[in-house]
Amino acid sequence: MAEGTPDNVAAASVPAANPAGKAGIVESVELGPKVTLLLEHDALVVHDRSSNKSRRTSCPPMGHSHTNTRSIPLYNILWAELTPDSQTLTVDYAHEAKSTKLRAAQLSLPVPATASVPQMTTFLATLLSRSYGRARQRKRAYVIINPNAGPGEADKLFEREARPILEAARMPLTVVTTTHRGHAAELARDLDLGAYDVVVACSGDGLPHEVFNGLGSRPDARAALGGMPVVMLPCGSGNAMACNLFGTHRPSLAALAIVKGVDTPFDLVSVTQEGSGRKLSFLSQSLGLIADLDITTEHMRFMGSTRFTVGFAWLVWKKNLYPCDLAVKVEIDHKDAVREHYRSRVEGGDGENGESGEAAPKSDRESDATRTATPGHDEDGGLPPLRYGTVQDKIPEGWEIIKHEKLWSFYCGNMAYMSPGLDFFPAAMANDGLMDMVIVDGPVSAMKAIEIQLGVESGQYFDHPLVKYRKVSAYRLIPRVEDPNGIISIDGEKADFKAFQAEIHPALGRTLSKVGGYENPGPKHWDKVANYERLLA
């Protein structure tokens, strides 16, 4: 990569997870009389006072206004080392070719014979440690590619946009391509947990769903789900998982986020439905408008995310309603209390965004006294027992029962973004032990539907009067009508149109994220909850 290297390096993103210690210059090495490497708070700075720059480096000047000073954000640094003969120092980094695309590049500097190799080695170790922060270096990745995801280019996207970045970060890769639906679940079920540090699904949200379920079907399900981070390299049409954890649906930016990703415990949801056993859901469950949108537009996958815009217009015009009954274990019942919950976790937690430190609400914590065993699951190592039984059991005491004669949309989420820019669950958190439930009853006029939809993009949706937003720990949804064409969607995959029950398992799963939680900004004005609202909450 010595040739054709970039003429500037800009921050691809702020390295929030990688605090670099004290502000200003913290370490430096001289490469002869004219080249100095400085480790600053958030960047590696190269000062080159040589008259013949091209002899000294593969990169033209960049960054600061001075022509022979260049700066590489620490977040973008993938690797740094001395060649075995100690004559060259190389720095691999992700160069921002465009705001939407990174490219692996390398800085290569001759080391003078007079240089101290131990000092260089210490400097490089410091550089790597500050560049990675809490993220594990050289993660061994098990990469699963769905060649059918999105417009069908996942394999090419991986090779072109992700592999060079992951390899430059010296990540050992094992790459497998799926041959059929369900293949990723089989691979996850049989995975050698000790041989890998992360499973990377190159796909849309369907493959991570399979991987979580594959890990969940193992006799050692709890250890597998809790110990093996699952991430997505976005190659599908929705790519919600990458939007939430990495703040992007661009494969090369996500590849860097995987390299620098920090361990993030993450809630998972059990769903039971008569005749189809117990499934894990990591993203959402829906019935009504959103479910129809997800599933009936599958044949338009070639359009990428445009399929959702086209499908939305069609469904709003159809004005369908979906009568059903809901039984729900409500934990937080009104929007200001949801805001307050969000604020207290962000401000009170010990993670980068306050997510990782706090326990779930009392009623949602795992308690041996309230657990009921689930047939078919090993009490010791398998999935945690279901606290509320299955959809076939009696509705548990204390659940609120609500009849929705004219339901327009039922949507329950565990993540915030459901596709790029669509923050459907602005108060969702990675490990607060709660699901965010949104209900809109109909009929909803085309004008109001568009208003709600635009509100999802602008952040006004949370406060829209037609949007009922709560935090819950379990629920049962029972459609009133039998409809062979009816649609229930679990993580974007079609489920049978019949009653189902869901309950959350706090921090059962594990993933990687940029900041230890989700990237969305939270419900509008979460940080401005008035004192009287806090008291009421």
* Residues designated catalytic: 205
Q: How far apart are CA 40 and CA 27, in angstroms?
A: 8
Closest Cα partner for 248 from 265, 271, 231, 262? 231
181 near ligand ATP, rule: CB under 6 A: yes
Q: How far apart are CA 373 and CA 57, in angstroms?
A: 64
Stretch that binds ligand ATP, among 94-102, 203-211, 373-381, 526-534 (CB under 6 A): 203-211
311 near ligand ATP, rule: CB under 6 A: no
**3-state DSSP percent of the chain in helix, strand and coil, to 5:** 30, 30, 45
Q: Residue 480 CB, nearest distance to ligand ATP (Å)?
A: 28
Query: Within positions 516 to 535, which residues make up the interface with ligand ATP, using CB under 6 A?
Result: none
Q: Is 379 left (phi over 0), alpha (psi -120 to 50) or beta?
A: alpha
Nearer to ligand ATP (CB atom), residue 78 or residue 207: 207
205 near ligand ATP, rule: CB under 6 A: yes
Nearer to ligand ATP (CB atom), residue 74 or residue 141: 141
Residue type, 151: P
Nearer to ligand ATP (CB atom), residue 241 or residue 502: 241
Q: What angle do CA 366, 371, 376 make, to 5 degrees?
A: 115
Which residue, chain included where needed, has tokens 């550089």? Answer: 127
Stretch that binds ligand ATP, among 71-79, 143-151, 370-378, 523-531 (CB under 6 A): 143-151
Which residue in the shown chain puts its C-beta closest to ligand ATP?
A: 204
Among positions 19, 110, 133, 147, the unique one binding ligand ATP when judged by CB under 6 A: 147
292 near ligand ATP, rule: CB under 6 A: no
Q: Residue 61 CB, nearest distance to ligand ATP (Å)?
A: 41
Q: What angle do CA 138, 79, 61 make, to 5 degrees?
A: 160
User: Read out DSSP for 393-437?
Assistant: SPPPTT-EEEEETTEEEEEEESSSEEETTEES-TT--TTSS-EEE
Among positions 13, 68, 237, 431, the unique one binding ligand ATP when judged by CB under 6 A: 237
Residue 82, beta-bridge partner list: 89
150 near ligand ATP, rule: CB under 6 A: yes
* Site size for ligand ATP (CB under 6 A): 23
65 near ligand ATP, rule: CB under 6 A: no
262-273 and 43-48: which strand pairing? unpaired
Q: How far apart are CA 408 and CA 216, in angstroms?
A: 32
Nearer to ligand ATP (CB atom), residue 351 or residue 492: 492
**Are 228 and 198 in contact, with CB atoms under 8 Å apart?**
yes
Stretch that binds ligand ATP, among 82-90, 93-101, 197-205, 442-450 (CB under 6 A): 197-205
493 near ligand ATP, rule: CB under 6 A: yes
Stretch that binds ligand ATP, among 127-135, 199-207, 437-445, 461-469 (CB under 6 A): 199-207
Among positions 183, 371, 464, 524, the unique one binding ligand ATP when judged by CB under 6 A: 183
**Phi/psi of residue 56, each to 5°?**
-95, -25
* Residues in contact with ligand ATP by the rule CB under 6 A: 146-150, 178-181, 183, 203-207, 210, 236-239, 301, 492-493
